[in-house]
Structure 1
Amino acid sequence: MKQSRAQLLHPSLFGVWLGVGLLWLLHWLPLPLLAALGNGLGWLLAMRPGKRKRVVATNLALCFPDVAEATRRRWLRQTFQASMRAALEYGVLWWGSEARLRRVVRIDNPEAARGDGKRPVIWLAPHFVGLDMGGVRLTLDHAMASIYAPAKDPVSDRFIRRGRTRFSDIVLIARHEGLKSTLNAIKSGRPFYYLPDQDHGRHNAVFVPFFGVPAATVSALPRLARLTNAQVVPVVTRQLPWGRGYAVHFYPPWDDYPSGDLDVDVARMNAFIEARVREMPAQYLWLHRRFKTRPAGERSVYE
């Protein structure tokens, strides 16, 4: 949605513009220095009490009850560090050159992006901190499509949209646009970069285990695969240490998917994501209240 000049320059958005200006300045820095700044700020945030810290601690305790508390505390700190580093590096996505993005984000196995090459492709992209880095990097090589949740303020919304669409013909489908636009994009042959692992309430969700905890999980992935005859090709972006950038890795397309059993198919998605989280537990989006929606009769786990 295009914003008017008056909307963008509203006095209440001064702080947002200040943040955008800071990101513009920071994007000139070398990535190792940006990473060091992000790690330092993340460490400070992790030391302060607050709502988000409690959310992260609760998520980690629910998902890793058998892990030593000291280890979970370390993962909590690293979660804030990885998230803050990714936030500071948004300037690279918004203003960095194509050549720099190709250096910053490598693709381990680009030949696997299209699966068997015969059917439409849904890229299952879980919410790791490198999600946007990987997504924008893939736009350099593919005219793709993705679901888009508008930002809360028009300034952030403008720059996020610009960052995701500035390199090629990208179709961004607003979440409220419904199923038809998504189906048309997939059937057109565009790879569909899909992020279905957040708690969006009970609508179109089923309760399936995530680390053994019933989690309200969007059930659209198997539905979309069935309606478009698309294959699901998971893709995960890993944040590399010491400011060495990011790595995108494609996994083999899923056989026999969907199976016809919705609960089984959604549980398979969660099991895949869980396995990747175990490989890099501090890089998952634990800041999100993944278990916000509870089965009937259960109280909130975040109280």
Structure 2
Amino acid sequence: MSKPVTFQRAFLKPKYWGVWAGLLFLRLLVFLPYKTQLAIGRLLGRLTMRFSPYRRHIVEVNLRLCFPELSPNARNKLMQKNFLDIGMGTMEMAMAWWMSKRRIRKIKVDYVNQDIMDAAIDSGKGVVFISGHFTCLELAGRLHGRDYKVNGLYRRHKNPVFNYVMVKRRSHYAELIERRDFRAFLRSLRRNIPVWYASDQDYGAKHSVFAPFFGVPAATVTALSKLQRIHKPIVLLGGYYRKPDYSGYDFVLTPMPESFPSGDEKADAILMNRFLEDSIRRSPEQYLWQHRRFKTRPKGEARPYKKKREF
């Protein structure tokens, strides 16, 4: 594990009381039945859509860029569904962090291509799961950790209190690796412990290439391509989906083709984005469209999330 987080007295300052109150509220809701929690999550999603124009604007921009073939009305309906799923994802985060082991064991998970995952682990070469940020991802991490030992890369949250609680709770079911701690990443692979890695974050242009994502140039990290070329772990793409009837989850695992890596970082980024795009199209409302995926732009391109001033 990367360097552990420690509690700071500064976390008790009044400016953090709202964060503590929100986390306590979620902690208490976990005692409710599973489907009741999801219903509360859908309510939270509706409220977020209604009262957070900033988040709504990001989702609107992303859907307009990624689904130009849809009518404005169809995109609006997709956005409404997405906010419901984001709200449920908030409750699933609380479940992942605080639900008892007994209740977690009762949640149904259907693995698609589980034999491929088992064979990859049994090979002893090390396994990297790449995935996008699906709305149920936090709970998927705990459920995956229930069935297999999996370590995860994480990005430090800008709010120190939320980051402290996040790392502490996740550490109960997985070893966490700070995304820049490459040595810890390699140690996990050498111990044949699979590592989960999100490939859909915008980390800027310095360590990325621009590759199409839903037809739009997106800053795509090249670290995985370099890692696979040098250390040769088996790379599997993971898609995590909430069942439509809320009876459990589907975990879909797809092997990357043997042509990956190709030696061409941009070609590898294009391939990785295409596989991720296919996994999102399976259930687009369950993807975290609130992320500013197209924040970094090629030189000369306008920033898509900047609102035009109205007069």
Q: Normalising TM by the smaller chain, what interval?
A: over 0.9
When residues 157 and 49 of structure 1 are mapped into structure 2, their CA distance, relative to the original with a 3 A threshold, is: closer
* 1:175 counterpart = 2:214: no
Indicate which of 87, 92, 105 corresponds to 1:89. 92
Deviation at 1:184, TM superposition (A): 2.5
Structure 2 Cα separation of the partners of residues 91 and 47 of structure 1: 22
SS at match of 1:123: strand
Residues 47-71 of structure 1: per-residue CA shift (max 9 Å, x gap): 3461111111011011111111111
Q: Does the CA-based 8 Å contact 1:219-1:262 persist in structure 2?
A: yes
SS at match of 2:128: strand
Asked whether 1:75 is paired with 2:81, we answer no
Amino acid in the other structure paired with 1:254: P
Q: Tell me which residue corresponds to 2:127.
A: 121
State the 1:145 CA deviation.
Answer: 2.1
State the match for 1:192 in structure 2: 195
Tell me the percent identity: 33
Give the secondary-structure state (helix, strand or coil) at the position aligned to 2:291.
coil
Match of 2:309 in 1: none
Where 2:209 maps in the other structure, the secondary structure is: strand
2:210 aligned with 1:207: yes
TM-score by length of 2: 0.90
TM-score (norm 1): 0.92
Q: Give the Cα–Cα distance (whole angstroms) in 2 for the partners of residues 215 and 253 of structure 1.
A: 20
C-alpha distance in 2 between matches for 1:253 and 1:175: 22
* Matches for 1:145-294 after TM superposition, within 5 Å: 145-167=151-173, 170-177=174-181, 179-294=182-297
Whole-angstrom distance in 2 between the partners of 1:225 and 1:114: 19
For residues 62 and 292 of structure 1, what CA distance do their matches in structure 2 show? Answer: 12
Structure-2 residue corresponding to 1:297: 300
**AA aligned opposite 1:87:** T
Q: Which amino acid aligns with 2:151?
A: A
Residue type of the partner of 2:22? Answer: G
1:212-248 CA-to-partner distances (Å, cap 9, x unmatched) read: 1111111112111122211111111102234433322
State the superposition RMSD in angstroms.
1.8
Q: CA deviation at 1:115?
A: 4.3
Provide the residue aligned with 1:53 in structure 2. 56
Question: Which runs of structure 1 show a deviation greater than 6 angstroms over 4 or more consecutive aligned residues?
Answer: none
1:33 to 26, 32, 36: 36
- Give the 3-state SS of the residue equivalent to 1:251 in structure 2: strand
1:274, CA displacement in angstroms?
0.9
Between 1:58-67 and 1:3-12, the stretch displaced more is 3-12
Question: Which residue identity lines up with residue 171 of structure 1 in the other structure?
Answer: E
Q: Is the 8 A contact 1:115 1:233 kept in 2?
A: no
The alpha carbon displacement at 1:253 in A equals 4.7
Of 88, 101, 106, the residue aligned with 1:98 is: 101
Greater displacement, 81-90 / 1-10: 1-10
**SS of aligned partner of 2:220:** strand
The CA distance in 2 between the partners of 1:114 and 1:254, in whole Å, is 17
Which one of the candidate residues 136, 139, 145 is aligned to 2:145? 139
Change (3 A) 1:131 1:89: closer
Unmatched tracts of structure 1, length 5 or more: none
The farther-off stretch of 237-246 and 10-19 is 237-246
Distance (Å, rounded) in 2 between the aligned partners of 1:42 and 1:259 = 41
Letter in 2 for 1:149: R
Q: How many residues align?
A: 300
For the 8 Å contact 1:208–1:216, the answer to whether it is kept is: yes
